[in-house]
Amino acid sequence: MTMSHRMKLRSFESVLKNYKAVFLDSFGVIKNAHGIIPGVIDSVNTLKEMGKEVIVLTNDSSKSPALLAQNFRRLGMDMVNEENIISSGMMALAFLKNKIKKGTIVYVGTKQSSFYVEETGRNFISIRDFNLKDIKDVSALVFLDDEGYDWQMHLNKTINILRMKSIPVVVANTDNTYPVSSTEVNIATGAIARMIEKISKKKFIYFGKPDSQMFMFAYERIVNKKNLKRNEILMVGDTLRTDIMGGNKFGLGTALVLSGNTSENQMRTYIKSTGIIPNYICPSIAMDHY
Amino acid sequence: MTMSHRMKLRSFESVLKNYKAVFLDSFGVIKNAHGIIPGVIDSVNTLKEMGKEVIVLTNDSSKSPALLAQNFRRLGMDMVNEENIISSGMMALAFLKNKIKKGTIVYVGTKQSSFYVEETGRNFISIRDFNLKDIKDVSALVFLDDEGYDWQMHLNKTINILRMKSIPVVVANTDNTYPVSSTEVNIATGAIARMIEKISKKKFIYFGKPDSQMFMFAYERIVNKKNLKRNEILMVGDTLRTDIMGGNKFGLGTALVLSGNTSENQMRTYIKSTGIIPNYICPSIAMDHY
Amino acid sequence: MTMSHRMKLRSFESVLKNYKAVFLDSFGVIKNAHGIIPGVIDSVNTLKEMGKEVIVLTNDSSKSPALLAQNFRRLGMDMVNEENIISSGMMALAFLKNKIKKGTIVYVGTKQSSFYVEETGRNFISIRDFNLKDIKDVSALVFLDDEGYDWQMHLNKTINILRMKSIPVVVANTDNTYPVSSTEVNIATGAIARMIEKISKKKFIYFGKPDSQMFMFAYERIVNKKNLKRNEILMVGDTLRTDIMGGNKFGLGTALVLSGNTSENQMRTYIKSTGIIPNYICPSIAMDHY
Amino acid sequence: MTMSHRMKLRSFESVLKNYKAVFLDSFGVIKNAHGIIPGVIDSVNTLKEMGKEVIVLTNDSSKSPALLAQNFRRLGMDMVNEENIISSGMMALAFLKNKIKKGTIVYVGTKQSSFYVEETGRNFISIRDFNLKDIKDVSALVFLDDEGYDWQMHLNKTINILRMKSIPVVVANTDNTYPVSSTEVNIATGAIARMIEKISKKKFIYFGKPDSQMFMFAYERIVNKKNLKRNEILMVGDTLRTDIMGGNKFGLGTALVLSGNTSENQMRTYIKSTGIIPNYICPSIAMDHY
């Protein structure tokens, strides 16, 4: 796992032979702002034909797995269904369901993202609609999306909730930014939550790659079907800090693809400066790219 | 300067005798959300009668010193004029004037706060009005206020400016929050800027207490009139991390007042946990309070 | 899980009824600097008689589980054997075994701690004995203990290894300090590693509570014997940031005990300020304490 | 001050004409591990002949200015005397003298570095010799050097002092590392102090570039002789984060030299990634280098 021999690009096809299952990040690996990345549909079909399990692992808590799958289908990719998608929102949902037994959960995000609090069976309310006078009812707060509320008005409200009451705060997406075009990014939920955490001096509970919990969740799902060892699974992602760091730590094989967040130039500098070293580097998951 | 003997409250009057000048924080010392703090007008009048210089030192870059003075007058306090108010915005202005010789300065804040870029003589534009297509013209960016723009839309624009061009970024207010009522706070410019700094991985240039530059600026103003030593000046503030830390470091006497950010309970815990130790603790600057 | 009703102390006995297994932190729960904490031996015997599984979960990578068990026996506690002890060092060992296939692993720690690199089957060498001329052989570095080397000489050597070569760095103990008497602490491996990480600008891989991986490891061990749900397991610890945070996040019940790191006074302030909220607070695990 | 036109190297001679005084960093600008950097003696002589004031500004608190000057003389550079050397230790000394009126100051460093506490006129003692039983006498603690004590034994003692008593803690050198050969560095006082600060959760008081206080101290010294404006002074340094950041913020002209910490390759990446932009970049201060 030293770096020297890994800095050369390999075709995705050539790295597959040692693995019986593949975990794919979504944004930057399967799709980008323009739709499904060229060659990906054929590639996932081939993976299926080869008998390899395919699971999508995404730091996305803005939509339910069902809606994420529906989006894939609309873009022409119908072989990844709801059961094969694991979102960071699902970790937050599991935590909230298990640990919050009463009261109202305040969520910061869109109506669509509220899926992850609705499924807990608890009362829930958007930060937008919540009134500070009802502070006594609040039992938890969860960051789900960067959309669906007015940042100034409702982050100020969030800070005051946390000053008034000591409650568990869950962050369902650890990312700092997400791409919105080939040149521009938007600030993501993780960065917003870390600002609020720092101001409030609380300790928030973060879910999403590189945290082990998501990998474990995906691993358990696969182990129930096939009895695989961790090193028989390949994690494929476009981000060193989340996909590769998390995959390495969990004991999976890891492949960095250059079809998203990380360009070929940046890759060399960033691997060297951080010491986060993937097992392989591939241009994308398209089979015939090289 | 050990802590034990300092934890008891003293009247403001009793701590004045060793000092020939007084630096006053504004918010939490002179005024709060309800107006001028009771007893303060009499107290400042008495200071003047005693022949002590009074300078207001504020981490406020939302208004010009002239407007800040006008606000004081409107609240009935007419003995603090523009010349005796030093705002963190003035440090930012001095830096920009000195170091940015051409191009356009983008400011993040209200129309009123734009005073601090207008005075540089450079071109300037609000983040609200700026178009990313004009990125080649931008020579600096400055955070002035938490109002005057849409946080989501325009902080996303800010991030993309910093991704596209390497420019000096100035933060004219280092505070994390400011009080808006007796129980609620709002997120301040410092916290917003630190989020953007962390995401963009740049190094921003911060002005405002506890940084020495503001104390030096006030000190130079006073030294021109009277030849005072630093330990003949008393810094009075309601915040340990900015007013007291900065005053101590600069070599001034320091008095914490309990009329703002810091309550009597919090004070003991916070002094002990941080080791930021004021020379004196007073209920407020009202003369006859104790 | 809101705070109010949880701030009162409960006897350990009274909180057990909903749980079929108990995870115990070691230092501050089972033992302290003076030996086994009073009442603990009887308590663990009672747990066993009740048919509850007992697992020890410790952020200790200074000794093998066999040696940790031997230490317990020497102190008179013979019912916790090697198979029931899970140390953070075991996570590091699993990672290194899985991901480092060749080269030499440099370890920072004592001879005893080298168990966790020896078991990988790779070459290994102490930072003390390593010569920078052999940098080409190094494939990973692991922090195991704060003892066994000269901090100045060998941490300087560590920094230079990381400047010369980009390799995975593993931290097998995330703690900042550990108690050495009732009033004094020592700096622990986690704090040292974070200093080196910050200077070197790398991203280290941390194992140990509150990280989910250790909880998962313990959980898998228990699930193989009995088919338990997560909320049928109680994590008992003396530290909010590691034991309680990690247990809550993993979905376990959590009990803070006041027999170690956290005193009754500190507990109220710290729970309130951080928002890390245990399900229960008990004086210790002694059964008849209350 | 935008970046594009600044990325080309200029001769030091060519950038001098707009400046009446020059502030020089010591390590990496005047000297390195091998002695005085080639061409520097002639260059400083020329500066003097041109009538430009020369002041040395160094984050070095391991020796008194007198000893620093003596070292320069021993290396053949006799035109920089004690009066023209300003060390970060002098800021710490001024603070301690002004603010600590009684008790014992504990210093962390060598016997030579104790100059900066001895000059305060207070009692002082090395961390090496201090006994925790005398905690009641301690009134301040100051980090002066990374040498002169056993890191493990005496940093553990330092942590326990700070747990037992709330006192001001001063850090007289903010650097993370310093070069000891062309390929190796050592950990510096700043990094050690930040580790202790983080563990102890206190707020330490840091002196040294980029903090404005040192620039102000040097500026005041020069203003007393000649009435210079800030932008008539050029700060020359080999480190962007300290020399250039601090000089820019204080309003000086800034020149990065490539004779020390920063190589030509690193320079482009680091300026771009941080946004810390010098006015000029020169190979070194040797006059005829280009």
Residue B246: list chain D partners with CB under 8 A: none
Q: Are residues D173 and D224 in the same domain?
A: no
Find the closest chain B residue to A132 by CA distance: B184
In a domain? residue B101: yes
- Most distant pair of Cα atoms in chain C: their distance: 61
Rounded Cα distance, C78 and C30, in Å: 12
Q: Are residues A184 and A216 in the same domain?
A: no
CB B247 within 8 A of CB B269: no
Q: Are residues B114 and B254 in the same domain?
A: no
| Cβ-based interface (< 8 Å): residues of A facing C | 1-3, 94-95, 98-101, 103, 138-140, 162, 165-169, 201-205, 211-213, 216, 230-231, 241, 245, 248-251, 271-277
Segment holding B155, helix H or strand E: helix B151-164
Q: Are residues C57 and C153 in the same domain?
A: no
B166 pLDDT band, cuts 50/70/90, is very high
Predicted confidence at residue C13, as pLDDT, reads 94
Closest CB to C275: pick one of A3, A202, A272: A202
Please say which residue of B147, B179, B206 terminates a domain.
Answer: B206
Peptide linkage before C179 cis (omega within 30 of 0): no
Please say which residue of A206, A229, A255 terminates a domain.
Answer: A206
Q: Are residues C17 and C51 in the same domain?
A: yes
| Cβ-based interface (< 8 Å): residues of A facing B | 132, 146, 150-152, 155-156, 159-160, 163-164, 176-177, 183-187, 191-192, 194-195, 198-199
pLDDT in tens, C21-69: 999 999 999 998 889 999 999 999 999 999 999 999 999 999 999 999 9
Q: Are residues C15 and C66 in the same domain?
A: yes
Instruction: For residue B16, give Cα distances in angstroms to B13, B53, B235.
Output: 6, 12, 11
Residue C152: list chain D partners with CB under 8 A: 146, 150-151, 187
D79 pLDDT band, cuts 50/70/90, is confident
Q: Are residues D108 and D186 in the same domain?
A: yes
In a domain? residue A123: yes
Residue D170: list chain B partners with CB under 8 A: none
Known binding-site positions of D: 25, 209, 238
Which of the residues A25, A60, A211, A243 is marked catalytic?
A25
Closest CB to C169: pick one of A98, A101, A275: A275
Please say which residue of D206, D230, D263 terminates a domain.
Answer: D206
Closest CB to D99: pick one of B1, B95, B167: B1
Pairwise pLDDT comparison (B181 vs A107), residue with the higher score: A107
Rounded Cα distance, A264 and D36, in Å: 41
D224 pLDDT band, cuts 50/70/90, is confident
Determine whether the interchain pair D273/B202 forms a contact, defined as Cβ–Cβ distance below 8 Å: yes
* Angle of CA points D105, D110, D114, to nearest 5°: 40
A vs C: CB pairs below 8 A: 117
Known binding-site positions of A: 25, 209, 238
Predicted confidence at residue A4, as pLDDT, reads 46
Q: Is the pLDDT of residue D126 over 50?
A: yes
Which active-site residues of C does the annotation give? 25
Rounded Cα distance, A173 and A107, in Å: 13
Instruction: Give every CB contact of residue B290 below 8 A, 6+ residues apart in sequence.
Output: B9, B10, B11, B282, B283
- The shortest C-alpha distance from A140 to chain C (Å) reads 8
Predicted confidence at residue C202, as pLDDT, reads 94
In a domain? residue D169: yes
The torsion angles phi and psi of A85, rounded to 5 degrees, stand at -115, 125
Q: Are residues C99 and C198 in the same domain?
A: yes
C8 pLDDT band, cuts 50/70/90, is confident
Closest CB to B187: pick one of A177, A183, A199: A199
Q: Residue D143's domain is classified under what CATH number?
A: 3.40.50.1000
Pairwise pLDDT comparison (B212 vs A6), residue with the higher score: B212
The torsion angles phi and psi of A80, rounded to 5 degrees, stand at -110, 110
Q: Using CB atoms, which chains have 3+ pairs under 8 A with B?
A: A, D
Predicted confidence at residue A6, as pLDDT, reads 55
Rounded Cα distance, B54 and B79, in Å: 10
- The shortest C-alpha distance from A177 to chain B (Å) reads 8
Segment holding B214, helix H or strand E: helix B212-225
CB A90 within 8 A of CB A117: no
Which active-site residues of D does the annotation give? 25
Smallest CA-to-CA distance from C1 within A105, A101, A106, A207 is with A101
Mutate to test the interface with C, among D175, D176, D195, D263 (most CBs of C within 10 A): D195
Determine whether the interchain pair B199/A176 forms a contact, defined as Cβ–Cβ distance below 8 Å: yes
Pairwise pLDDT comparison (A265 vs B255), residue with the higher score: B255
Of B258-272, C252-266, C271-285, D140-154, the poorest mean pLDDT is in B258-272
Q: Are residues C149 and C201 in the same domain?
A: yes
Rounded Cα distance, B260 and B27, in Å: 7
Please report the sign of the dihedral spanned by the C-alpha atoms of residue C70, residue C71, residue C72, residue C73: positive
Determine whether the interchain pair B166/D272 forms a contact, defined as Cβ–Cβ distance below 8 Å: yes
Determine whether the interchain pair D1/B248 forms a contact, defined as Cβ–Cβ distance below 8 Å: no
Residue D176: list chain C partners with CB under 8 A: 198-199
Smallest CA-to-CA distance from C1 within A189, A120, D146, A41 is with A120
Torsion of CA B270, B271, B274, B278, to 10 degrees: 140
Does B48 appear as a known binding residue?
Answer: no
Residue C132: list chain D partners with CB under 8 A: 184
C225 pLDDT band, cuts 50/70/90, is confident
How many domains in chain C? 2
In a domain? residue B145: yes
Determine whether the interchain pair A167/C101 forms a contact, defined as Cβ–Cβ distance below 8 Å: no
Predicted confidence at residue C204, as pLDDT, reads 96
B vs D: CB pairs below 8 A: 117
Look up residue B97 and give its amino acid.
Answer: K
- The shortest C-alpha distance from D199 to chain C (Å) reads 6
Q: Are residues D202 and D103 in the same domain?
A: yes
Find the closest chain A residue to B176 by CA distance: A199
Q: Is the pLDDT of residue B4 over 50?
A: no
Q: Using CB atoms, which chains have 3+ pairs under 8 A with D?
A: B, C
Which active-site residues of B does the annotation give? 25
Mutate to test the interface with D, among B203, B224, B267, B273 (most CBs of D within 10 A): B203
- Point out the residues of chain A with pLDDT beneath 70: 1-6, 289-290
Rounded Cα distance, B176 and A199, in Å: 6
Determine whether the interchain pair A146/B152 forms a contact, defined as Cβ–Cβ distance below 8 Å: yes
Q: Are residues C83 and C93 in the same domain?
A: no
Determine whether the interchain pair C195/D199 forms a contact, defined as Cβ–Cβ distance below 8 Å: no
Please report the sign of the dihedral spanned by the C-alpha atoms of residue B32, residue B35, residue B38, residue B39: positive
Q: Is the pLDDT of residue D2 over 50?
A: no
Tokens representing B30 are 């002179």
Mean pLDDT of D98-125: 97
- The shortest C-alpha distance from C72 to chain A (Å) reads 30
Instruction: Estimate to the nearest angstrom the gap between the alpha carbon of D227 and the chain centroid.
Output: 25
Determine whether the interchain pair D183/C164 forms a contact, defined as Cβ–Cβ distance below 8 Å: yes
Q: Are residues B82 and B93 in the same domain?
A: no
- The shortest C-alpha distance from C160 to chain A (Å) reads 14
In a domain? residue B76: yes
Please report the sign of the dihedral spanned by the C-alpha atoms of residue B277, residue B278, residue B279, residue B280: negative
In a domain? residue D74: no
ipTM rounded to 2 decimals: 0.92
B247: helix, strand or coil: helix
Mean pLDDT of B102-130: 98
In a domain? residue C156: yes
Residue C217: list chain A partners with CB under 8 A: none
Determine whether the interchain pair A191/B199 forms a contact, defined as Cβ–Cβ distance below 8 Å: yes
pLDDT in tens, D168-190: 999 999 999 998 888 899 999 99
> Residue A173: which domain range?
89-206
Rounded Cα distance, A137 and D286, in Å: 70
Predicted confidence at residue B261, as pLDDT, reads 85
Q: Is the pLDDT of residue C7 over 50?
A: yes
Determine whether the interchain pair D271/B166 forms a contact, defined as Cβ–Cβ distance below 8 Å: yes
- The shortest C-alpha distance from D234 to chain C (Å) reads 29
Bridge partners, C237 (sequence order): C256
Does B202 appear as a known binding residue?
Answer: no
Determine whether the interchain pair B164/A156 forms a contact, defined as Cβ–Cβ distance below 8 Å: no
CB C185 within 8 A of CB C148: no
pLDDT in tens, B36-54: 999 999 999 999 999 999 9
Which regions of chain C does DSSP assign to beta strands (E)?
21-24, 31-32, 35-36, 53-58, 85-87, 104-108, 123-126, 138-143, 169-171, 177-179, 185-187, 205-206, 233-237, 253-257, 280-282
| Cβ-based interface (< 8 Å): residues of B facing D | 1-3, 94-95, 98-101, 103, 138-140, 162, 165-169, 201-205, 211-213, 216, 230-231, 241, 245, 248-251, 271-277
In a domain? residue A171: yes
Closest CB to A195: pick one of B146, B150, B191: B191
Rounded Cα distance, C274 and C290, in Å: 27
- The shortest C-alpha distance from B238 to chain D (Å) reads 17
Pairwise pLDDT comparison (A223 vs D67), residue with the higher score: D67
Determine whether the interchain pair B248/D94 forms a contact, defined as Cβ–Cβ distance below 8 Å: no
Determine whether the interchain pair A150/B152 forms a contact, defined as Cβ–Cβ distance below 8 Å: yes
Predicted confidence at residue B250, as pLDDT, reads 94
Q: Is the pLDDT of residue B79 over 90?
A: no
pLDDT in tens, C138-196: 999 999 999 999 999 999 999 999 999 999 999 999 999 998 888 899 999 999 999 99
